[in-house]
Amino acid sequence: MPTSIATIQIKAPADEVYRFLVTPHLISEWVSGLRPGKRVGGDSEIKLGLRSIDMPQPATRTLKANPEIVNFMPDNSISMRVESTGFIMHTRFHLFESEGVTTVRQFVKVSYKRWFKLFAKITNRSMQNRISKDLVRLKNRVEQDGRAERSQRSA
């Protein structure tokens, strides 16, 4: 079970970055494969043990997953366990802030079930590329939001 790891630095405080990790309508703006506007059950309050997070559904209709928040430390980290028919995925985000710059590190570990193991090598390579690209989108979105807010304050 290889672990995919991606890291990026974002010019914003940790609380601003964290908001994009836990706010359902913002998640779909940077996570690939999610459709905005389509929600699965649950309330919008992120908390430990929450199942069926109120977040956009995957763009593919064939994926049926049961997400659960397993670690929740505001402005520091969040971990989710997602179980599907073919895999169990653990995703963890850690945030470290220093001098107005937040380093975001994402870890993804996937355990495959039954015949899905045949696709593990291809899927793991794809997962690494996907989380790296997602973090670049997160950086762009957070920094864009910060520029817009600073512009409004100076006007």
pLDDT tens sequence across 10-57 = 999 999 999 998 887 788 788 887 655 444 444 455 666 666 544 445
- Residue-wise pLDDT tens digits, 72-104: 888 899 998 888 777 888 999 999 999 999 999
Secondary structure class of 141 (helix, strand, coil): helix
CATH number, domain 3-154, options 3.50.50.60, 3.30.530.20, 3.40.50.1360, 3.40.50.920: 3.30.530.20
What global pTM score does this model have?
A: 0.79
For the sheet with 3-10, list strands across it. 3-10, 101-112, 87-98, 77-84, 65-73
Structural contact between residues 81 and 72, judged by C-beta atoms closer than 8 angstroms:
no
Domain boundaries, the chain: 3-154
